[in-house]
Amino acid sequence: MSTSGERDRDPAGRARSARPRDAMGRPLPYGAAGEPRVPEDATFTPDEGLAEAQRLIDTDRPFHAHEVLEAVWKSAGEAERELWRGMAQLAVGLTHVRRGNARGAAALLRRAADRIAPYGPDGPYGIDIAGLTALARSTAERMEREGTEAAAESALKPRLTRPE
């Protein structure tokens, strides 16, 4: 843990963030009570990751959903890596909408759509590729035209998988 403004580092020298975070993932001062975080060494199967990410999105914690999806991305095989990277970017895009950053939200939502679209329309693990791609692109357009205040609640809490 660093209090001098330097980045936190693990024993191998890689940057790590030990600062507590609020529900939207914004860093809090050291010692503050923050939201529970996904451990950096957490692993999830794709199905576990989708279920946990959905739970977090449904409870207005898209930043934390991003951390779960990032964990899946880090352990994914080469063929699915971009899918999970796009899913993590989708969650970060939703985080930026919630934080009021229309420009950042639009950029991340477009990147997410571009990364996940090649896996659809019927994506692996029941992921709603077509629905998420359309939602990400339409929300990005709306953010650019009208700002984050115009975000529909349904856009902020998307279903990650197709209905069974």
Q: Where are the domains of the chain?
A: 1-37, 46-156
> Which burial class, exposed, middle or buried, applies to 153 when counting CB atoms under 10 A from its CB (0-12, 13-18, 19+)?
exposed
Reported as a pLDDT band with limits 50, 70 and 90, residue 41 is confident
- Report whether pLDDT(70) > 70: yes
Full DSSP string of 94-141: HHHHHHT-HHHHHHHHHHHHHHHGGG-SB-GGGBBHHHHHHHHHHHHH
Determine the average pLDDT of the residues in 66-70. Answer: 96
Q: What are phi and psi of 105, to 5 degrees?
A: -60, -50
Q: Which residues contact 44 (CB under 8 A, 6 or more apart)?
A: 52, 68, 71, 72, 75
Nearest one of 27, 24, 31, 25 to 7, comparing CA atoms: 27
Containing 9, the helix (H) or strand (E) segment is strand 8-9
Reported as a pLDDT band with limits 50, 70 and 90, residue 14 is low
| pLDDT tens-digit readout, 123-161 | 899 999 999 999 999 999 999 999 888 887 778 899 999
- Is residue 38 within 8 A of residue 61, CB to CB? The reply is no
- Domain 46-156 matching CATH 1.10.580.10: the answer reads no
